[in-house]
């Protein structure tokens, strides 16, 4: 399903969950055109992930406001759970690889230079997950 494959659509949903409800505000926060926001909101609405309603101010034109619907909220919650589980799996994978590397150094199967090179490569490969773990620890 490519509906949520767009990072902009995911960001829209997150902002809607935080209470940003007008397309102009979404466009300004995401630094994209209003037309782009409208296109994404229409696609999200068509699939039942966002709801829209009209607000009729005492003066001026009516405004269309958006919110994440219950189906959208459930999907986003589920995606968040999957993402957390994926990150935990990747961190376990990193720690296991690091333990094997440490054991190889301790057993003399690697010299220090090779160990450091492989450790840096592992840290680079898992950098995004390490950064997320550090951020979560704050």
Q: Which of 81, 12, 75, 83 is nearest to 43 (CA)?
A: 12
pLDDT digits (tens, 9 = 90+) for 87-134: 899 999 999 999 999 999 999 999 999 999 999 999 999 999 888 888
Interhelix angle 112-125/70-106, rounded to 10 degrees, is 180
**Helix, strand, or coil here: 61?**
coil
Q: What is the predicted pLDDT for the residue at 58?
A: 87
The strand ranges marked E within 6-134 are 50-55, 63-68
**Helix, strand, or coil here: 82?**
helix
Q: Which pLDDT band holds residue 79 (cuts at 50, 70, 90)?
A: confident
Does pLDDT of 1 surpass 80? no
Q: Which pLDDT band holds residue 63 (cuts at 50, 70, 90)?
A: confident
Q: What is the predicted pLDDT for the residue at 7?
A: 86
């Amino acid at each position: 399903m490519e509906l949520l494959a767009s990072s902009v659509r995911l960001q829209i949903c997150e902002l809607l969950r935080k209470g940003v409800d007008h397309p102009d505000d979404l466009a300004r926060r995401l630094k994209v055109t209003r037309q782009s926001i409208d296109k994404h909101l229409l696609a999200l609405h068509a699939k039942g992930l966002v709801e829209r309603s009209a607000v009729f101010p005492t003066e001026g034109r009516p405004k269309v406001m958006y919110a994440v619907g219950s189906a959208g909220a459930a999907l986003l919650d589920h995606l968040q759970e999957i993402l957390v589980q994926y990150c935990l799996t990747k961190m376990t994978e990193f720690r296991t690889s690091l333990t094997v590397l440490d054991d190889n150094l301790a057993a003399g199967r690697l010299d220090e230079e090779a160990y450091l090179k492989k450790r840096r490569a592992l840290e680079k490969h898992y950098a995004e997950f390490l950064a997320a773990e550090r951020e979560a620890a704050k």
